[in-house]
Structure 1
């Protein structure tokens, strides 16, 4: 595009300087030219002037398109920066759990069979029955793997963090940190613009780890991402579910504010 713009500008400059010369030449030799030759030169001059006007119009259009492109890129950068800031502020409120010398076994409610999300116009519910399932406490190895993946987010190395969290949840599917791993994997994918994959990660927190501390945040994220993907009905269902089930949480306040803007 830049090469094309340079060619157009060069041609315009040539026409700009040659048109007056042609006009002067016509005036000088008009006395010695036939009327048909003079008319032909005038026609060529008018054609050159029209070409100049046309090229100027193209330059104006390209300048306008470039301005719009720059504005779009700036808007995307601002949106990405906001996402990163929100991600970092969330990380401050929930630090990665540390390994203890006497690890405790954690129990969460987990479906006996694969969980199913039931959706309707008002709510989203996990299908019973639920039974307590023992999750393994983090070992030194799993804790280190989680911390490494988490630190990559702080360093804004999102591609590497995505790979690290994906490997973590695969290597430690029944760890007490696995639910957190899926949540942060969803956040990383969201920052990268992989909205559909982010939905899968957030949904896994709800389906596979019901009662997890990140469930309310995952529900809120599912509501906002669904709205961004154009599914307003599902977005409202997720947001209303957050407000109904976690009325005193920060996620509930965020969901209430976001829901008021969903049309």
Structure 2
């Protein structure tokens, strides 16, 4: 229950005036010294309560501001594996498929037309790649969405085969959702789940694609993708989210 500190201060002022008047005119008003003293005691107690409430209000305000500063946009998921991924030492390229051929377009706006089903060769991130990714990711955290969009676009063009490129395409999808560009968001999510099959963001990308298709009123595609998450990644939290969302599709 919220208590208005300003009202308490008003009550305290009234009591203060009443108590002062009582001490001066106590005999005339029929108020005994003991009663006047009790009134002053109540006043002091009320003032202490006001002070305590003011402290609590300031503390709650501080916590609220702290929560606001730490809140990400509703379209942006926490990248729980980011720290582990960025701290991995540089290593020789890991070949996901010896016959695969990477296809990278100049920008995510045209990337959807060049999606291939086979996974590409994946390279471990070097210190340079990690720094570039961190820089773009920090823009997302700071909600500089347009600049972050360009930064991640530059990243996928410069590092088309890197392990972090799958993450970059995923965040491009999220950024397009923030900018209400659902078609381009789908293209970026689909790149993650096709060209980067087996990536740590694959389940998340499929889940987000399912949600977007539902928002576009393409219910069958939405159900198929959400079911794919549930069947393909049964032990993940994303699968639980997909199951919950799927149960609400009408």
- Decide whether aligned partners of structure 1 residues 168 and 254 sit closer, same or farther in structure 2, where only a CA change above 3 A counts: same
Out of 77, 80, 105, which is 2:93 matched to?
Answer: 105
Query: For the Cα contact (< 8 Å) 1:149–1:164, is it kept in 2?
Result: yes
Deviation at 1:172, TM superposition (A): 0.5
Deviation at 1:185, TM superposition (A): 0.9
| Aligned residue in 2 for 1:66 | none
Out of 182, 196, 200, which is 1:209 matched to?
Answer: 196
C-alpha RMSD over aligned residues:
2.9
> In the comparison of the two structures, how many residue pairs are matched?
169
Query: For the Cα contact (< 8 Å) 1:138–1:175, is it kept in 2?
Result: yes
Q: SS where residue 194 of structure 2 aligns?
A: helix
Distance in 2 (CA, whole Å) between partners of 1:172 and 1:114 is 11
| Aligned residue in 1 for 2:183 | 196
| Aligned residue in 2 for 1:186 | 173
| Aligned residue in 2 for 1:84 | 73
- Decide whether aligned partners of structure 1 residues 83 and 225 sit closer, same or farther in structure 2, where only a CA change above 3 A counts: farther
Distance in 1 (CA, whole Å) between partners of 2:159 and 2:205 is 20
Deviations 1:141-169 (A, max 9, x none): 22111110000011010111000001100
* Structure 1 unmatched runs, 5+: 1-81, 116-126
| TM-score (normalised: structure 2) | 0.60
Distance in 1 (CA, whole Å) between partners of 2:127 and 2:101 is 30
| TM-score (normalised: structure 1) | 0.57
| Aligned residue in 2 for 1:35 | none
Counting strand residues as a fraction of each chain, which structure ranks higher? 1
Matched, 1:141 2:128: yes
Compare CA radii of gyration and give the structure with the larger one: 1
Q: SS where residue 169 of structure 2 aligns?
A: helix
Deviation at 1:247, TM superposition (A): 1.0
Query: For the Cα contact (< 8 Å) 2:102–2:161, is it kept in 1?
Result: no
Query: For the Cα contact (< 8 Å) 1:189–1:195, is it kept in 2?
Result: yes
* Structure 2 unmatched runs, 5+: 1-70, 104-115
Distance in 1 (CA, whole Å) between partners of 2:98 and 2:209 is 20
